[in-house]
Each structure stands twice: as structure tokens, then as C-alpha cells.
A and B are shown apart, each in its own frame.
Chain A
Amino acid sequence: MDVILFLVFAIIAVLCAINVVVQTHPIASALSLIGVMGSLAVLYLLLGAEFIAAAQVIVYAGAVMVLFVFVIMLLNAGEEVHRGRSFVVQVLGAPLLIALLGLLVYFAQRLFPGAPMVRFGAFRGGTAVAVGRALFTQYLLPFEVTSVLILIAILGAIVLARKELD
């Protein structure tokens, strides 16, 4: 069951991710990205991170991506215009990316040999209680700093998007 669930959602995630890259229309890319985020949320559940899975859907798929879709609709962004790319990108782009992928997969397979098998339900440390306790004791300072960061981001966004009065 675990294997089936993993494979199904991993394949959905990869297909949607490919779609993000190859689709020429930004709204199609945005919706594929939502697909990636949704299937990643299911994988988080399989890994026992239930709070983060819910936060992933609420924050990422529900808030951040709505902003993206909103901006795409607002600007009425059309199909992408293709131009001649730089020579370096044309020649080296794909091989370098494949090399990066190979390296990442190699490290994933080799550098962590003692890794346990993932069984659903074997790790129950991702409940809202556990996350909250860690967040408000051990990680209190980063948490507060993040809230300041968000405040700055809100101010920045308002200043940037404000209509000029003069």
C-alpha cells in the first residue's frame, strides 16, 4: 500500500513538475505547480508530518499560489515569447542539468546507507502538538524573527504596489 501510494503521488508530482517547465502559458504552469504541491502534501502525510502537510496545502497551494494566479490574471500574461538563447545555455544547459540530477541521485543513494525504510505510521512526531511545542520552546527566537520578516514583507509589498499619489 505504501509503495503504491508513494509511486502514484511521486509520478503525479514529477509529471506536474515537467508540466510546470514545458507549458508555455503561465496559468497552466501555476496549476501544475499546485498539483505538485498537493501530491507533496500526500507524501508528507506518508512521512508522518501531518501538520506540515496541512500547512503545505493551506499556505502554499491555498495562499501563495492564489497570489500567483491572481497576478497572472491581473496582468493578463499571455503565451511566452521565444527568443534565440545564448550559445552557452544551448550547448551546456541540458548536459549540466542532467549532471546535477545524476549527482543528486547518487548522493541520495550512497551517502545515507543506514536509512530506515519508510512505513506509514512508524513516526508520529509530526502532530500539531509536537510541532507547536518545538516551535514555541526550542525555536522561539527564529519564530519571532520570522514574524518580523513577514511584517517587513507586508510593508515592502504595500510600498511597491502602492499607487503613486503625485
Chain B
Amino acid sequence: MDFLLLSLIKAAVVAAVLLTTLAYLQWVERKVIAHIQVRLGPSRVGPHGLLQPLADVIKLITKEDLIPPHVNKFFYLAAPFLAITMSLLSISVIPFGSEVRVLGQTTWMQLTDLNIGVLFILAVSSMGVYGIALAGWASNNKYSLLGGLRSSAQMISYELPLSLAIASPLLLANTLSLRELVQKQGGFEFGFLPRWNIFQGPWPQIISFLIFVIAGFAETNRVPFDLPEAENELVAGFHTEYSSMKFAAFFMAEYANMITVTCLTTILFLGGWQPLFPASMGSNLVPPVIFVLAGLVALYHGLNPARRKDRFTLPVFAVVFFALAAVFLLPAAREAILPLFWFAAKTGFLLFVFIWIRGTLPRFRYDQLMAFTWKFLFPVAVLNLLVTGLLVALVP
């Protein structure tokens, strides 16, 4: 019974954290894009627009839930459910951190560890195509249909380089379990170089890392590969006919997919929760230093406020950052949250790259998109896999 209770608690915690992250990821995205374009971004609802996600949720729930008369009702309603379910499902095998001891219970920061974990994520993500394809078809709208067709073609095409890019780090690690994958990347070469797959010999996986991230952009339908929802060509692509919470489901599915892809990148290539440099060189002090610096910056801007409101809000943030820094200095808590910090830091950085690229790059043309994966990405991925396999076989 303990096991059942523990699993339920873990599932509830992961679900709550994931959904909050989804909501705030959108706030972060709007803020970052705004600053890239020299704007302020959301700033009306709450301090620095921090309550904007809440306002968005209220707006989306209270909007009229319209079902257009010409749609195929069953599939039209099933599509958003399929999309959101499949995108939330894969988080269940992601390990966020190492073992923790809470109230006398020892448990992993992971919902479950399958020994086919990588295959599970591939399987679930390949099922996610149906949500979008069905939405496009069931809407009975030419723009939606084109969006659905584009998305399914794009996702099938980019799944190939994606899978091949996953295969090469698996050759190095010799396991399909995500937890073991991270454990095998622990330790340091020459005392300072982490044994992450991206750095590890005999063949550092930088090429497959890049391929994986590029294919990840396409799998999540993000700029520069957001052809399925290219608004200047297709209105809004596959979700043109969707409103209210059904639209929100697609929106959340996209962000959840983004989180899954970045988590998987972290685990496969960037060593999961393993720190960047050894504890003997002070890696345990990185989180407190970062939080103290953030707190100091917030305090400085609070004392020299740009707007009147900032005089009260920014010192509060500073206090929060100082408290976080203090938590990381407690030896009891440190054991549990340091891995979590490293995992969140790497994933957060990758998410930032996703947003950064959205603010930087223009959209591909459709034939360029297809030619890019079939004529460039796929051959490179195959070559990389061959070289990795050869070197793994030759170098003991």
C-alpha cells in the first residue's frame, strides 16, 4: 500500500509542477520574445505580468466553446484529447533527479523507470501525430486539412533523423532505461570533463545532439518548422476551427512536447542531473551563487526603480532568491535538490534556446523543410551512427 500511496503522491506532484511549468513557460516565452523585439511583454496582470497565465486560463475557460456545424463531431472532439494525452504521457518515464529520502521513504525522482524507456517515449510521441492529423481532417476546412497533412508528413520525416540521433548515445550507454542512461554519464574525465554523451569518447555526440535538437524543433512544430500552423498561409493551420479549451489543449500539448524534448535532450546528451564540474571544484556552490546574484540584481533595480511599482515588487523577488540560496546551503536539503537544480538548469537553458530561435529565425518554405531532412539531416544521422558504431566496436 505504501508503494501505491507513494506513486499517487509522486504523480500528483509531477502533474502539478508540469502544469504550472506549462502555464509559466508561455509567460517566459512572451517575455523573452518581447525583450528580443525591444518590447515589455505582458506587464499588466500582476507584477511583471506574473499573473498573466492565470488570466489566460480564465479567458480560455470562459470563452464560448463553439463546435462548427460542418465538422465530423466525434473526431473533432477526440483530436485535442489525443494530442494532450499523448504529450503529457511521456513525462512519466523522465527521471528528474537521483534518489531522495523523504519522511523515512527512499524513492527516485521519477514516476517509473521502464527498461524500454527510450522506446516508450518514441512510441508515445509517434502517436501524438494523430491528434494533429485528425484535427486537421475532422475540421472539414481546407486550411486545417493542409495543416494536418503538412504536420503528419513533417513528423514522419523528422522522426527518422530523430530516432537515428537517439541511437548513437544509446550505443555508448548500452541501455534503454533513462535512469541508467543518466547514471552511466556520471563521473569526470581527467578530473574535470564530465562524462556526458556530448563530451564522451570515443566519438563525442555533438553531431547527433544537433540533429536531435533540430528534429525536436520539427517534432514540436516550433519555428522555424511551424509549417502546420503557418498563419500567413493557413490562417492557423490544424487548429483554425478550434476555440476555448479545445484550442488550449493543442496549445498545452505543444508546450508539453517542448518540455519532453528538452528533458530527453538533457538525459541523452547532457548527463541528466549530473553536475557540470566536480563537487571538489565547487559545483555545489553554483546554485547559491546564482541565486544570490539574481537577488542582488533584483535588489539593485528595486532601489533604483524604473517604474514606481518596482520599488515594492523587486525587493520581494530578491528576498525569495536569497531564501532559495539559503535552502541550497542547507546540507540536509542540498542532497535532494542539487540534482534537481542541475536537471532544471539544463532543461531550462534548452527551453530558452527554443524561445530564442523563435525570436530569431524566419520560417522555412515547405519544400526546403522536406529537402533539408531527407537530403541533409538523414544522411548525416546515418553517417554519424555508422561512425559511432564503428568506434564503439573498435575502442574497448
Contact = CB atoms under 8 A, between A and B. Distances in A.
B partners with A: yes
Interface of A: 27, 31, 34, 50-51, 53-55, 57-58, 61-63, 66-67, 69-70, 73-74, 127-128
A70 B153 contact: yes
Contact of A63 (B126, B133, B145): B126
Given A54-B123, A62-B126, A128 B152 contact: no
Nearest to A126: B116
B242 interface: no
A85 to B, nearest CB: 28
A55 B126 CA distance: 11
Nearest to B125: A62
Contacts of A73: 133, 136-137, 145, 148-149, 152
Given A51-B119, A54-B122, 12 more contacts: A27-B75, A34-B130, A50-B115, A50-B116, A57-B126, A58-B123, A63-B126, A63-B156, A66-B130, A67-B156, A69-B134, A70-B156
Nearest to B174: A129
Given A66-B133, A66-B156, A73-B145, A128 B127 contact: no
A69 B115 contact: no
A61 B126 contact: yes
A66 to B, nearest CB: 5
A44 to B, nearest CB: 12
Contact of B126 (A31, A51, A58, A70): A58
A2 B199 CA distance: 45
Contact of B137 (A27, A54, A57, A128): A27
Nearest to A27: B137
A147 B339 CA distance: 42
B267 interface: no
A67 B152 CA distance: 9
A163 B137 CA distance: 25
A66 B152 contact: yes
A61 B152 contact: no
Contacts of A57: 123, 126-127
Contact of A128 (B116, B129, B153): B116
Contacts of A50: 115-116
A158 to B, nearest CB: 11
B77 to A, nearest CB: 13
Interface in B117-159: 119-120, 122-123, 126-127, 129-130, 133-134, 136-137, 145, 148-149, 152-153, 155-156, 159
B323 interface: no
A51 B116 contact: yes
Contacts of A34: 130
18 contacts: A27-B134, A27-B137, A31-B130, A50-B116, A51-B116, A54-B119, A61-B126, A66-B126, A69-B133, A69-B137, A70-B152, A73-B133, A73-B136, A73-B137, A73-B145, A128-B116, A128-B119, A128-B176
A34 B123 CA distance: 13
B123 A62 contact: yes
A155 B155 CA distance: 21
A58 B119 contact: yes
A12 to B, nearest CB: 16
A47 B145 CA distance: 40
Interface in B158-178: 159, 176
Contacts of B134: 27, 31, 69
Nearest to B114: A50
A6 B123 CA distance: 21
The 10 closest A-B pairs by CB, nearest first: A62-B126, A54-B119, A57-B123, A58-B123, A54-B116, A73-B137, A70-B152, A50-B116, A58-B122, A66-B129
A127 to B, nearest CB: 7
A54 B116 CA distance: 8
Contacts of B152: 66, 69-70, 73
A70 B150 CA distance: 10
Contacts of A58: 119, 122-123, 126
A69 B79 CA distance: 14
B179 to A, nearest CB: 15
Contacts of B123: 54, 57-58, 61-62
A70 B115 contact: no
Nearest to A34: B130
